[in-house]
Each structure stands twice: as structure tokens, then as C-alpha cells.
Amino acid sequence: EVQLVESGGGLVQPGGSLRLSCAASGFTFSRYWMSWVRQAPGKGLEWVANIKPDGSQIHCVDSVKGRFTISRDNAKNSLYLQMDSLRDEDTAVFYCARDNWAGDSLYFDPWGQGTLVTVSS
Amino acid sequence: AIQMTQSPSSLSASVGDRVSITCRASQDIRNDLGWYQQKPGKAPKLLIYAASSLQTGVPSRFSGSGSGTEFTLTISSLQPEDFATYYCLQDYNYPRTFGQGTKVEIK
């Protein structure tokens, strides 16, 4: 079964750091781009970042540039999101998702169950 | 960044109704659009990719259409399990951007 399981969420003070992990199983992790998507409480979805299979390319949304770093360890079938200088507005459920390509079209499937990050003093 | 605008933001419908949700892009995105369903407390689920391709296992009452800047998700006969929030997502360029969501509620 293809599965993604996030961990590492929790309560952190503004300005603090947190590292999220996403464990992949049931597919050849090293062949896929991977993404992080977040959802603030009661709000919509926001794509955060993605990373190429070999880690050589990264893209991210402007609001996290210079603060969040996406990385991966293909030997451990794991995706990471290092989050520094956290702000109140980063409070959200963070999902990892597999990027799939059908020709020129991308879609996210599957998704993990999500991990909650709360930034508050 | 490309802005994705969904309408309506919410709608009330009855079981058996035909429901349509529109997503408009701020620029031409060809057919680089997907639709996702999210139920409370759950991760989003892919329904449609490449504007009109039905994901394996998704009921055929769901369909997608459109290209360029205007796209539509249609549910031909609403079922009880379809009450959820629906999001469009453009994958034409970075950053990937979602619509704000459409909540489908029971009438």
C-alpha cells in the first residue's frame, strides 16, 4: 500500500524552529518529486514547497523563502521540512504529498494524514 | 503568482442534484488543473487531473471540463458522501496555487 506518514508537529514559540518528517512506503520514493502543502485552521490549502527526486531542484512559495528548507533522504525514504523563524501565521496542518506526472500534468496523490504545527507564545 | 478564483464559495444542494463549481485562472493555464475533495479532519483526495481526467477509483458522477482560464467540476447526481469542500489547483507554473475552496452543504 502506498502510504505517507508525517511526524514532528507540535507547539513552538514565535521565532522558533521545528523539523517535520514524512515517511514514505509502498513505492519507489527516489523516483518521485515530493511536496509539502499546508492548511491554516479553518482556511484553504496552500502549496509550500517541492523537491526533485535527486534533491537537485527545489521550489517554494515566497512566504517561506529563507525560513523553510525542504530536503529528502532517499536511503531512508523520507522527506523533511526544516522550519525556522516561525511566525504565528505559520500555524497550520502540514501535509506531504507525492507529485505525479501524467504527460505535462501534475497531480498530488497520495497525501499523508497531516501534522499540526502551532506557533504561539 | 497565478490567482485561482472559485465560485461559489459555498452552496446548498440536495441528494440527487446536479452541482457545478467553477474555477477561473488569472492567466491561461492550458489544461494544467486538478480538482480535490476534502472532508473535515481529512487529507484532500484527488478527483480530476489535467482538467478532465478522472482519477482511478473516483465515481463517474464526477467530471471536469475547461481549458485556458475557465474550468468546471460537475457532480451529476449528488450523493450523501459528496458533501465536502472542493479545491482546484493549477500546476501550470510555480508557485502552485489553489482556489479558495467551495463548500458543498446539505440543503
Q: Work out the number of other CB atoms within 10 angstroms of the CB of residue B72.
A: 16
Show residues of chain B in contact with A109, CB under 8 Å.
Answer: 46, 55
Q: Which of A47, A95, A112 is the closest to B96 by Cβ?
A: A47
Distance from the Cα of A17 to chain B's closest Cα (Å) equals 23
What's the whole-number mean pLDDT along residues A18-40?
98
Q: Do B46 and A109 touch (CB under 8 A)?
A: yes
pLDDT for B7 equals: 97
- Is the pLDDT at A69 greater than 90? The verdict is yes
Given pLDDT bands bounded at 50, 70 and 90, which one contains residue A102? Answer: confident
Q: Do B49 and A111 touch (CB under 8 A)?
A: no
Residue with cell string 506557533:
A119
What's the whole-number mean pLDDT along residues B25-52?
97
What whole-number distance in Å separates Cα of residue B58 and Cα of residue A45? Answer: 21
Q: Do A44 and B101 touch (CB under 8 A)?
A: yes
Q: Do B46 and A59 touch (CB under 8 A)?
A: no
What's the whole-number mean pLDDT along residues A88-103?
95
Q: Which residue has the higher pLDDT, A102 or A76?
A: A76
